[in-house]
Amino acid sequence: MTEREISPTLGRLILGAVGALAGLSFWGLVDVLPDLIERTEWPYLFLTSFTASFFIACLALIGPVPAARAAIASAGLGLVIATLLTWAGQRFEGVDAFMQTGHPLPIFFLLTFTPLPFFIAKIREGRWDDYSALFAHSWDIVVRYAAALLFVGIAWGVLMLSDAMLQLVGVTFIQQLLRIDVVPYVLVGTVLGVALAVVNELSEYVSPYLILRLLRLLLPAVLVVVSVFLVALPFKGLSNLFGTLSAAATLMAMAMGATTLVTTALDADGQSAVQGRVMRLLTQGLALVLPALGILAGVAIWLRVDQYGWTPDRLAAATLAALVLGYGASYAVAVILRRDWAERIRRINVVMALVVMAVGIAWLTPLLNPQRIATANQVARFEAGKVSAEKLDLWSIGREWGHAGVAGFEQLAEMQVHPDAALLAERIEKVKNTTSRYSWRDTENISAQGRLAEELQAVLPVLPVNVALPDGVLSAMGEWRLRMATEACGRTTPAGNPECLALVVELVRDNAGPEVVLFYVLSDGRLWSDMLSTRTNGDAYVVAPRMNGNFAVQSREGAEHLDALFSGEFETPSAGINYLDFAGQRLFFAP
């Protein structure tokens, strides 16, 4: 006997009690257990994940299936998920490091919710692979939880409003009750359980069909957007698409949304699916363009990987792209084969749901250890010379990728014969001696600027020729300025001069030292300049802002103007006013 076949009162009592027990359990996990078990210990992760999975599943199953069977199934599911999460967590020193990867929570919800429709279909319809039942139960769970959570929010709002109103007349019992630590947990759980029971009672009225019909309205619009995108892509170029994870994420999100729209259009069976010829053609069209989105997302990710190597996040993105492409390619093949294409897509959905669960499980087992794979790849890239010691993300490897990352970090530290061994050893020591990524990054930026400043000073021409650059002057420039200037020094002007030049001049009378005006030609031919000044408050150089337009804004003939500077065709004011005259231009700087 299911919960829908018993009295409404009993159903509300059962689900209300389960919800209250859920709230009490979470209160214990949050406020009581941490005093007994350290949060970084694995029993806490096991108990938390088991409790969360058990109650989420149990509240969803009670009603469609008998309470006893729902509890047994939820306990089994919770045990499996908690075991897998705890097993996967052993890749790290503690729970916090494991959770900060961002991967456990999505996999937890995936493995908690995806099996539920299969279990309900097996109990109610006798077949776990009955697509009509799976489709109905999946959307039923979504709608029941959404409606119940909405009611919890409304009920909590009414409670807060009631408390505020009663406080106007000096009645504070609601406020005092809510101050008891356990009460908010139990209250929210009870309200959620009762709300789910009421939704179960009104299943004929609170159904997903309204949502499914509304979603169908979006299908033509999404098809138009995707089609315009694919048509415009060759004309607009691929520079904004390939090689970035953000573009890949956009493509995958659209592909997943389109997959959902195709599924909703086909509904549970042929009778419920879209019937009009136009809508069926639009559904087929959307299914046919899905592989293009998956392929483009995959290429975008692969180019990023080819350039920078694997990381756990790129592995997650690649895994998701593979699943998206699996859906898209299967849908497209089903449409191309024509006969029974809609029924074929429904069968594909069952298979792909199982594949998604299998991938989620593999992600929590040694079969797919993203930290191990990423570490091995990064170490191999460094050994092969594909990435320099300066570009290697040592902080992520040694501090964020768990035990596999630490092992790779130690392997890198032992590479004494590599050409970049000295710089690598220096950066490894900095990782060991810093406590946060931010402080390490600051240290890295200072070191990188120092190396770039030394590199630039070695190739930078200086005028007058008998004057040396003041000590430390180039260190005042930011990393991107140093890189642009250094790259410019590697190019030559029409007269054979380097496309960079430093003028040591007296522009500001009251400053502690001379000013240095650094000129360099940008890659597009414009001439850029920066004045490095000590100001009047000390002898540390800073980059002084310009007060007027620059050649970089006006001219693409930067190399010719630079040749004029090399020839001495410039003037500085005798009065110490901060400007330079050259090539018919007057360039002002802030003092």
Reading phi first (left if > 0) and then psi (alpha if -120 to 50, else beta), residue 340 is in: left
pTM of the model: 0.78
**What pLDDT is recorded for position 533?**
73
**Tokens representing residue 53 in the block:** 């999975």
Element (H, E) at 491: none
Region of poorest pLDDT, from 117-126, 187-196, 259-268, 578-587: 578-587
The answer, yes or no, to whether the previous bond of 464 is cis (omega within 30 of 0) is yes
Q: Residue 553 pLDDT more than 50?
A: no
Cα dihedral sign, 329-331-332-338: positive
3-class SS string, 499-550: CEEEEEECCCCCCCCCEEEEEEECCCCCEEEEEEECCCCCCCCEEECECCCC
- Closest C-alpha among 306, 209, 219 to residue 260: 219
Q: Residue 572 pLDDT more than 80?
A: no
Name the pLDDT band for 354 (thresholds 50, 70, 90): very high
C-beta neighbour count of 99 within 10 angstroms: 15
Inter-residue contact 110 to 360 (CB < 8 Å): yes
Burial letters 389-398, b for 16+ CB under 10 A, else e: beebbbbbbb
Region of poorest pLDDT, from 103-117, 539-553, 571-585: 539-553
Regarding predicted confidence, which is higher, 377 or 510? 377
Q: Residue 215 pLDDT more than 80?
A: yes
**What pLDDT is recorded for position 162?**
93
Question: Per-residue pLDDT tens for 55-94?
Answer: 999 999 999 999 999 999 999 999 999 999 999 999 998 8
**What pLDDT is recorded for position 224?**
95
3-class SS string, 396-437: HHHHHCHHHHHHHHHHHHCCCCCCCHHHHHHHHHHHHHCCCH
Regarding predicted confidence, which is higher, 94 or 371? 371
| Integer angstrom CA distances of residue 196 from 52, 128, 150, 189, 419 | 17, 24, 11, 11, 65
Question: Per-residue pLDDT tens for 265-278?
Answer: 999 888 889 989 99
C-beta neighbour count of 186 within 10 angstroms: 19
Q: What is the largest CA-CA distance in the chain?
A: 100
- Closest C-alpha among 571, 456, 576, 581 to residue 518: 456
**What pLDDT is recorded for position 256?**
95
Inter-residue contact 392 to 378 (CB < 8 Å): yes
Instruction: Quote the radius of gyration of the chain (alpha carbons, Å).
Output: 33
Name the pLDDT band for 103 (thresholds 50, 70, 90): very high
**What pLDDT is recorded for position 526?**
82
Q: Residue 508 pLDDT more than 80?
A: no
Mean per-residue pLDDT, 478-497: 86
Using DSSP bridges, classify how beta strands 462-463 and 500-505 pair: parallel, antiparallel or unpaired. Answer: parallel
Name the pLDDT band for 233 (thresholds 50, 70, 90): confident
Name the pLDDT band for 240 (thresholds 50, 70, 90): low
Regarding predicted confidence, which is higher, 193 or 551? 193
Q: Residue 578 pLDDT more than 70?
A: no
Question: Per-residue pLDDT tens for 114-173?
Answer: 999 999 999 998 899 999 999 999 999 999 999 999 999 999 999 999 999 999 888 888
**What pLDDT is recorded for position 551?**
47
3-class SS string, 129-143: CCHHHHHHHHHHHHH
Q: What are the strands of the beta sheet with 542-544, ordered from one edge?
A: 462-463, 500-505, 515-521, 527-533, 542-544
Q: Residue 181 pLDDT more than 70?
A: yes
SS3 at position 62: strand
**Tokens representing residue 189 in the block:** 């759980």
Name the pLDDT band for 40 (thresholds 50, 70, 90): low
Reading phi first (left if > 0) and then psi (alpha if -120 to 50, else beta), residue 273 is in: beta
Q: Residue 12 pLDDT more than 60?
A: yes
Percent of the chain with pLDDT over 70: 86
- Closest C-alpha among 100, 99, 131, 98 to residue 117: 131
Cα dihedral sign, 138-143-144-150: positive
d(CA 566, CA 461): 9
- Treating both helix axes as pointing N-terminal to C-terminal, what angle do 341-363 and 312-336 enclose, rounded to 10 degrees? 160
C-beta neighbour count of 534 within 10 angstroms: 22
Mean per-residue pLDDT, 398-408: 92
Q: Residue 500 pLDDT more than 50?
A: yes
**Which amino acid, residue 195?**
A
d(CA 169, CA 161): 13
